[in-house]
Amino acid sequence: MAEFDFDLFVIGAGSGGVRAGRMAAGMGKRVGMAEDRYLGGTCVNVGCVPKKLYVYASHYADDFEQARGFGWQAGAATFDWPTLRDNKSHEITRLNGIYRNMLNQAGCSLLDGRARVVDAHTVAVGEQHYSAERILIATGGWPYVPQFPGHEHVISSNEVFDLDTFPQRMIVVGGGYIAVEFAGIFAGLGAKTHQLYRGELFLRGFDGEVRQCVADEMRKKRVDLRFSTDIECIEKQPDGSLLARLNTGETLEADCILYATGRVPNVTGLGLENVAVRQRENGAIIVNEQMQTGEPSIYAIGDVTDRVQLTPVALAEGMALVRHLYEGQPMVVDYELIPTAVFCQPNIGTVGLTEERARERNGEVDVYSSSFRALKHTLSGSDERTFMKLLVEPVSDKVVGVHMVGPDAGEIIQGVAIALKAGATKAIFDSTIGIHPTAAEEFVTMRSKSRY
Please write the tens of the pLDDT for every residue from 222-264.
999 999 999 999 999 999 999 999 999 999 999 999 999 999 9
pLDDT score of 1? 45
Alpha-carbon distance values, 289 to 13, 209, 272, 297, 299 (Å):
22, 34, 20, 15, 11
* The one catalytic residue among 151, 324, 377, 436: 436
The domain of 353 spans: 340-444
Which among 198, 196, 139, 145 has a CA at the least distance from the CA of 172?
196
The number of folded domains in the chain is: 3
pLDDT score of 450? 87
First to last CA, the chain: 68
Angle, nearest 10°, between helix axes 15-26 and 81-106?
30
Diameter of the chain measured on Cα atoms:
75
Cis peptide bond N-terminal to 339, omega within 30: no
Instruction: Count Cβ atoms below 10 Å from residue 149 Cβ, excluding itself.
Output: 12
Q: Are residues 28 and 131 in the same domain?
A: yes
Position 395: which residue type? V
Q: Are residues 91 and 157 in the same domain?
A: no
List of the chain residues with pLDDT < 50 = 1
The residues, any chain, with a CB within 8 Å of residue 269's CB and separated by 6 or more, are 114, 116
User: Taken in order 414, 417, 418, 419, is the CA torsion positive or negative?
Assistant: positive
Q: Is residue 334 part of a domain?
A: no
Answer with the one of 261, 284, 301 that is the final residue of a domain: 261
Q: Are residues 268 and 281 in the same domain?
A: yes
Mapping DSSP to helix (H, G, I), strand (E, B) and coil, where does residue 181 land?
A: helix
Q: Are residues 17 and 136 in the same domain?
A: yes
Beta bridge partners of 195: 172, 225
Q: What is the CATH number of the domain that holds 23?
A: 3.50.50.60
* Strands (E) located in 280-385: 298-300, 340-342, 348-352, 366-372
Which among 213, 255, 232, 208 has a CA at the least distance from the CA of 385?
213
pLDDT score of 74? 85
Global confidence as pTM? 0.96
Q: Are residues 217 and 90 in the same domain?
A: no
User: What is the spatial distance between Cα 97 and Cα 104, in angstroms, rounded to a whole number?
Assistant: 11
User: What is the spatial distance between Cα 150 and Cα 257, in angstroms, rounded to a whole number?
Assistant: 11
- Is 153 an annotated catalytic residue? no
Beta bridge partners of 224: 194
Q: Are residues 21 and 133 in the same domain?
A: yes
CB 293 within 8 A of CB 300: yes
Label the pairing between strands 386-392 and 399-405.
antiparallel
Q: Are residues 247 and 166 in the same domain?
A: yes
DSSP H stretches of helix in 47-118: 48-66, 81-106
Q: Is residue 451 part of a domain?
A: no
